[in-house]
Structure 1
Amino acid sequence: MKISTVCAAGTVAVLLATPVMAQQATGIYLGAGAGVNIRQDQKWTFTDPRTDGHADVAFDTAPAGNVYIGYDFGAIRADIEGSFRQNDIGDVGLNWDAFRLNRFITVPAGNDVKVNIKGHERTIGLMANVYYDFEFGSPFVPYIGGGLGVGFNNWKVKAKEFDIDFEYDSPLFAYQGIAGVSYYITPNLAANLEYRYFGESDAEFTTGSTKIKLDAPASHTILAGIKYVFDFGPPAAEPAPETAVDTGQRSYLVFFDFDSSRLTPEARSIVASAATDALRGQSTRIDVTGHTDRSGTDAYNQALSVRRGEAVRRELVTDGVADSLIVVRGVGESDPLVPTADGVREPQNRRVEIVMN
């Protein structure tokens, strides 16, 4: 089965799960994953005083895993990752023209031959990664990323027919591309399903009188895991507003932490009051308008204001309000409650207004 098919099927399976009304937190996070590693076929080139040639080496599929620690800034996050991959050597096709003079085997020239080679390739990766999260106001957050680092490799190879028995360790330059989707069970806890293409530079070493060159190792890794974000809240030096305000006119204000669309427990309580008001008063329309302060770019703040509005909409629906009654829009930083200069973090402007009609 092609890797792309596996990834697509896994993503669809996650997306079919029952949605949970959660928004992601920001801050320091820890995570771990486990899955399978499919190592690409590799060409090994041998050179020694007797002869030279190459072997086409295939590998068995094997388990893989990783752990990481990082910081989530919002749409962008970065982490340091440690990973483990080890694949046993499977089929080996030997270029016979090159090896026909070997004294251990005598078969007609011009043929390739399968030989019995035992061993493995093991890689412990240490990577620095950067990701971009595509936030749509949903608990499902697709993401892409990439990383650079080093792979600490160990090769162990034994082939009695060719008098080969060696073990070799070498660090190699490593890089990877990442694509996946997170499902936020709570604002702080997410389940992840992801694909990683892990590549390294060529390796070359000598054992006895034989020089061996290995083409650049490459792996396709599919991992399922969890991530937990330690949300320590906004900076202590910044004064916070009341989390939410009931204006007494069938309208409500709900405030948010800096660069967040997560509803606090107090905010959920006010949204619940708004939902009760809407159900009791038989509202025909509920306007939900998201706002931000002026500390980000216009485009980023526009998207953040929509995410805040969507978070309130989902909470109203959870509290029993018909989704068809709710109209959500975001106005970014264009309508501040407290006028400020551009770039100023103003807690009163990070809000959603709920108006009953």
Structure 2
Amino acid sequence: MRKILLPLLASTMSISAFADEDNHFYAGVEFGISTALKSDLEGEDLTLRADKHWGRNGGLFIGKKINKTRFEFEYMIRSNVVDSFDITASNLDAFPVRREINGAGRQKTSSLMVNAWRTFATWHKWDLDAGFGFGAARTRLDNVRQGSNNFVDGSDWAPAVQAMVQASYPMGKGANFSLGYRLFRAFKAEYATQNGEFSHRARSNEFFARLSWKFGGSSSAPRTKPAPAAPVAQPAAPAPTPVETKPVQQVPEKPLEGPKPEEHPLPGPYIVYFDFDKSNVSARGMNTISEAAAAFRDYKAVEIRTTGKADRAGSSTYNVKLAERRTEAVRAALIREGIPANKIDIRSTGENEPRVPTADGVREQENRVVVIVLVR
């Protein structure tokens, strides 16, 4: 077991080695429902395929977000009641093959996982994430029996993997809500019983809800200015020879005005393109938004102005609403990039003020945009 847990802990601790301008730690709770798939109890003389009821799952997690990527450490518990058995192989006369018998007992699986998530799309204010995890699982088969015949009552550890998808919604004040699906698989575990050796693989499909809170800010270390060089001692100058001089009337001089510091122009504008009749931000658009957010911080801008536009396909009223949705999607993405909401000014012009003039009804890519401008 130590060989499994030590690499997991080392992987989790290495998360803190990542540094980025927009990152934070987070922690949360998780709960949901779990359907444990039919799985074989493989013995020397008997193989049973166990069928289980829907059960519950719950757990805790803690991790770190780095832009669109997250790494986390997760502990989960899932529990299911055994319903019945199908006998798939038997050398015992009392249990003929292809017979279904009523069963009892409980399957309880605790897992310790390291997960990696990646945001691959944004729809309105929802982030769509996909993830993969690996770790270890302890599966306990508690009093799994048929009548008075107790087949398995014990537990064992085994490696485990999982794949996940979820949709996340920011709730404000650092809170985040998610709904998702998980495919969980544990490898073969061994059980020593009074009926001989049995092996078993825990498998389940799960639906879950998550609630998390972020804490901590950027882990980037502040830059320190180099210490000034020590002054070098100069040799003393010889004393000047006294010279008789007449007093001269002093005329005050005007102070010299130094050159004004040069102010570099702000970069931009940044153009976020949208597909026809769409308001979700594409991967290309997210790259543009990330560049605008980085420039906002690097050039110490005081405001970001966003203007949503639409082409002339469709009615003018519809295009105004479409442009508003596009502007809101860009605003939400800028907030996720670390820009304060009160620093973002939004407006929508619909099909008015086009970047490229066209006739009514014409689809034009250059007019399906949100224009981002930095203001100093």
TM-score by length of 2: 0.56
Query: Where in structure 2 are the equivalents of 1:139-288 lying within 5 Å?
Result: 139-159=125-145, 161=147, 163-164=149-150, 166-186=152-172, 188-214=174-200, 216-233=201-218, 235=220, 237=222, 270=303
1:40 is the counterpart of 2:25: no
Distance change >3 Å, CA 209–CA 328, structure 1 → 2: closer
Give 1:42 shift. Answer: 0.7
Q: What pairs up with 1:1-357 in 2 under 5 angstroms?
A: 26-47=23-44, 52-95=45-88, 98-99=91-92, 101-102=93-94, 112-134=98-120, 136=122, 138-159=124-145, 161=147, 163-164=149-150, 166-186=152-172, 188-214=174-200, 216-233=201-218, 235=220, 237=222, 270=303, 307-308=333-334, 321-324=347-350, 328-329=370-371, 352-353=373-374
| Helix, strand or coil at the partner of 1:232 | coil
- Describe the superposition over 1:123-181 as per-residue Cα deviations: whole angstroms up to 9, x where unpaired: 11100111111254852111111111110121113435573264211111011111111
Distance 1:96 1:180, change over 3 A: closer
Identity %: 16
Question: In structure 2, what residue type is equivalent to 1:193?
Answer: L
Query: Is the Cα contact below 8 Å between 1:189 and 1:229 reproduced in 2?
Result: yes
The offset of 1:114, in angstroms, is 2.4
Contact 1:139 1:185 in 2 (8 A): no
CA contact (8 A) 2:108 2:140 kept: yes
Change in Cα spacing, 1:98 to 1:186, as seen in structure 2 (3 Å) is same
Instruction: Give the Å deviation of 1:122.
Output: 0.6
Deviations 1:85-135 (A, max 9, x none): 011101212247643x23xx7xxx6x6322232111111110011111125
Structure with higher RCO (Cα < 8 A, 6+ apart): 1
Q: In structure 2, how many angstroms separate the alpha carbons of the residues matched to 1:39 and 1:211?
A: 22
Task: Decide whether aligned partners of structure 1 residues 160 and 145 sit closer, same or farther in structure 2, where only a CA change above 3 A counts.
Answer: closer
Q: How far apart, CA to CA, are the structure 2 residues paired with 1:258 and 1:271?
A: 13
Q: Tell whether the 8 Å contact from 1:54 to 1:98 is kept in structure 2 after alignment.
A: no
Partner SS state of residue 110, structure 2: strand
Distance 2:145 2:162 in 1: 32
CA-CA distance at 1:59 after TM superposition:
0.7
* 1:289-330 residue CA offsets vs partner (Å, 9 max, x unmatched): xxxxxxxxxxxxxxx9995499899979x9773352695357
Partners of 1:187 and 1:258 lie apart in 2 by 25
- 1:117/1:157 contact within 8 Å kept: no
Q: Counterpart of 1:244? A: none
Q: Which amino acid aligns with 1:218?
A: R
Q: Which stretch shows the higher mean deviation, 154-163 or 139-148?
A: 154-163
Change (3 A) 1:238 1:328: farther
CA distance in 1, matches of 2:337, 2:132: 29
**1:323–1:36 distance in 2 versus 1, CA, 3 Å:** farther
Q: Residue in 1 aligned with 2:281?
A: none
TM-score, normalised via structure 1 length: 0.59
Q: 1:46 to 1:229 in 2, by over 3 A?
A: same
CA contact (8 A) 1:151 1:174 kept: yes
> 1:186: how far off?
2.2
Closer, same or farther: CA 114–187 of 1 in aligned 2, 3 Å: same
Contact 1:86 1:120 survives alignment (8 Å): yes
Instruction: Tell me the alpha carbon deviations over residues 11-34 of structure 1, each in whole angstroms, 9 at most, x when there is no partner.
Output: xxxxxxxxxxxxxx7300012111
Distance 1:188 1:309 in 2: 12
The letter for the 2-side match of 1:28 is F
Amino acid at match of 1:353: L
Mapped partners of 1:311, 1:74: distance in 2:
7
**1:187 shift after superposition:** 6.8
The 3 A distance-change label for structure 1 pair 252 and 213 is: closer
Distance (whole Å) between structure 2 residues aligned to residue 197 and residue 119 of structure 1: 23
Structure 1 residue runs of 5 or longer lacking an equivalent are 1-24, 240-246, 276-303, 331-351
Q: Give the letter for the 1:115 counterpart.
A: I
CA pair 209-90 structure 1, distance change in 2 beyond 3 A: closer
Indicate conservation of the 8 Å contact 1:137/1:306, yes or no. no
Contact persistence 1:268–1:315 (CA under 8 A): no
Instruction: Give me the whole-angstrom Cα distance separating, in 1, the residues matched to 2:114 and 2:35.
Output: 22
